[in-house]
Structure 1
Amino acid sequence: MLSIGELARASGLSISALRFYDKARVLTPHAVDPRTGYRWYTDRQVDAAVLVAAMRRVGMPVKEMVAVLSGSDAHGLLDRHLGRLEQGLDDARRELTKIHRLLDARADRESTVVLRTADLLAAVGAVRFAADAESEFPVLRGCLFETDHDVLRLVTTDRYRLAVGTAAVLEPPVDPISVVVPCAFLDVAAGLLRRHRTVTVVVGADSITLRCGREQLTTGLVVGAFPDHRGLSPRDPGIEHTFSSATLRALLADAGDRVDLGVLESGEIVVGHPGTEQPVRFHVQVNAGFLLEAVDALPGEQLTFRVGGPITPLAIRPRSVHTSDPASAYSLLMPLQPEALT
């Protein structure tokens, strides 16, 4: 006699499958211990279990399994099931052919979005500094263009900082856009954009074109997956403090390679090491040059800093917008390894 575990190993069926086929009256045990409920099978039932496992793999219905094991037109049942499988395979081939055609048509279809050139230039200006022109990774030398409802979002990153800019969409695309554009192309296109009021951005399968009236520029898209900027965007409210852009530029002028941000118990954020008797909750240290570039790139006379802790990114945005707003512009700076303050 074989236990259910031994029959499972001999047949290739799992114990749970054998229990199911017992309840379905496909393969019932020779005996069941009334005290323990253990199922016991004979050696002859191994062949039946192997047949059940084979029929299970090809999707044979349970009722037909019973008929095959009973010997009632077994070969005819198997042949008819094979016919159904072949018909299903033909149907699947036809559907997959349709899917291939739809994908090819989708790839060939161009997506277009219309913007004010001034908005696009401002968005490029807000993010250009964070791209790494020397990176070995093409996507880090590029700028992500993605549509989000009535907004075109531009994103750049060199993995140490991230910048987001937005431009209002005048005519949204039929299908969402998410492509990486070489920053060098945007630099060249600036002259074209300054000569016109609106631009039509045309995105094809492997290229992007900027059309302004009768003038246009085209380049190939960057191949590769852009880093997930949404995963980096701060979600915790954190501690916020607003500075004037002019004050920040003055504080950063002689800051050296790094600058310290002290978060006081009062919630105020101080830049550098100004004398204060208030207790400091924690410090955040960032690259001073990167911070100055972010200050210069973001619009507005007042910028809001937001920090969540000493090792979380520093978020910088114009005072009038929020990083949780899909239409907002902001920058993130990764914190540096802390150094002792003197």
Structure 2
Amino acid sequence: MRSIGEMARDSGLGVSALRFYDGAGVLVPARVDPASGYRWYGPGQLAEARLLARLRRTGMPLADVRLVLAAWSGADTDLVRTLLDAHLRRLERGLSEARAALSTVRALLEHRENPMTSFRTPTVSLTVAADELAAALDAVRFAASTDPELPVLGGVLFDTEDDALRVVATDRYRMAVARAGASGHDGPRAQFVVPAPVADAMRALLTGSGGGDGGVRLSVADGRVVLEAGDRQAAGRCLDHDFPDYRRLAALPPGTRTLVDVAALRAAVRGGPVRAGDPGEEGGTARDLSLLEITADGTVAVVDEGDGAGRDRIAVDRDYLLDALDALAAGTRERLVVEFGAPTAPIAFRRVDEDGAEEGDAFSLLMPVRLED
């Protein structure tokens, strides 16, 4: 007999998926402990679970999955072949429809764009507080993408305002935004994407600029960005791409907010239970997940899937969570506001001042990982 954890490990189905398929009557355990409710699976059920995992990856409807499993061990395999062929035709039809829809979107995009206009960053310059810009880059750099298929996300967005500079990075699964004070703005408001290596060179320049409240001069013209600190500078070409509208991405539905102690949460995440993500999650790589829950007393706990369900529960990539905590809590910050929204909405981490009021100078969003079908 295999426990539910062993069955999850050996079959490729997560614990939550096994619970789901038990409740749906698709893969019912051979034995359930009457006292604890713990599930046990017989030796012959492993092959059935592995088959179920393969069918699950294809997106086969649950009703068809149930029929395939019921007919699998029979002598007549015609029903299984018929169901597989029908599902393959559905997938091919869906792919054809998706291609047509994407072709329409591309046509709309080409119609929207002006083919006579080439990429050109407006000329603008401003003075930015050196220590604040260094802290802002530290708060967002971890979220920049390394995916060669999305080169625009491999940089840091610089968004100039009259009295501030916002920097943003995202790799689709997480986004970080930070603000640095600015003055002496010359030119229109502008957005430009600085390649990650250039952003790193700027951060290194700030380290040697003396820190403190001194200002450094940031300017961009003809697609080239320059950061000057005294007689030294870091410069490079901006990325020739448009960055996603980060303000729209940051517009979250109302959620449950609570104040957390960073050191305690970090220790709980590092030492707490983890769940191995299913293959295919997070860009095709199985990663360790932490299951977070806001308890009845308003604290954030790292829980195990076997625990009873709490008021609010969400699964996030464990390493991404630690990155966000480390970046936002740099320096002397001891507390953050954590905001849980809908189960499919990002979880937000925001800086607060000594009185617990939200500062608004930096925040991070993490996309949740769905645990069940």
Q: TM-score, normalised by structure 2?
A: 0.57
* Deviation per residue, 1:221-244 (Å, 9 max, x gap): 001111121112144331011111
Larger-Rg structure:
1
User: Is 1:283 aligned to residue 309 of structure 2?
Assistant: no
Provide the residue aligned with 1:296 in structure 2.
326
Provide the residue aligned with 2:294 in structure 1.
263
Tell whether the 8 Å contact from 1:144 to 1:154 is kept in structure 2 after alignment: yes
User: Is 1:149 aligned to residue 162 of structure 2?
Assistant: yes
Tell whether the 8 Å contact from 1:112 to 1:200 is kept in structure 2 after alignment: yes
* DSSP 3-state at the match of 2:268: helix
* DSSP 3-state at the match of 2:187: coil
Provide the residue aligned with 1:333 in structure 2.
366
Tell whether the 8 Å contact from 2:122 to 2:188 is kept in structure 1 after alignment: no
Consecutive unaligned residues of structure 1, counting only runs of 5 or more, are 1-102
- Root mean square deviation of aligned Cα: 2.9
Tell whether the 8 Å contact from 1:239 to 1:267 is kept in structure 2 after alignment: no
CA distance in 2 between counterparts of 1:269 and 1:248 reads 7
Q: TM-score, normalised by structure 1?
A: 0.62
Provide the residue aligned with 2:217 in structure 1.
200
* DSSP 3-state at the match of 1:310: coil
Provide the residue aligned with 1:187 in structure 2.
200
Aligned residues: 234
Percent sequence identity over aligned pairs: 33
Consecutive unaligned residues of structure 2, counting only runs of 5 or more, are 1-116, 275-287
**Distance change >3 Å, CA 109–CA 333, structure 1 → 2:** closer
For residue 118 of structure 1, the aligned residue among 128, 131, 141 is 131
CA distance in 2 between counterparts of 1:319 and 1:108 reads 34
Tell whether the 8 Å contact from 1:322 to 1:328 is kept in structure 2 after alignment: no
CA distance in 2 between counterparts of 1:232 and 1:110 reads 27
Provide the residue aligned with 1:165 in structure 2.
178
**Aligned letter for 2:292?**
L
User: Is 1:133 aligned to residue 150 of structure 2?
Assistant: no
- C-alpha displacement at 1:253, in angstroms? 1.1
Provide the residue aligned with 1:305 in structure 2.
338
Provide the residue aligned with 2:234 in structure 1.
217
CA distance in 2 between counterparts of 1:172 and 1:309 reads 39
Provide the residue aligned with 1:74 in structure 2.
none
- C-alpha displacement at 1:269, in angstroms? 3.5
Tell whether the 8 Å contact from 2:180 to 2:361 is kept in structure 1 after alignment: no
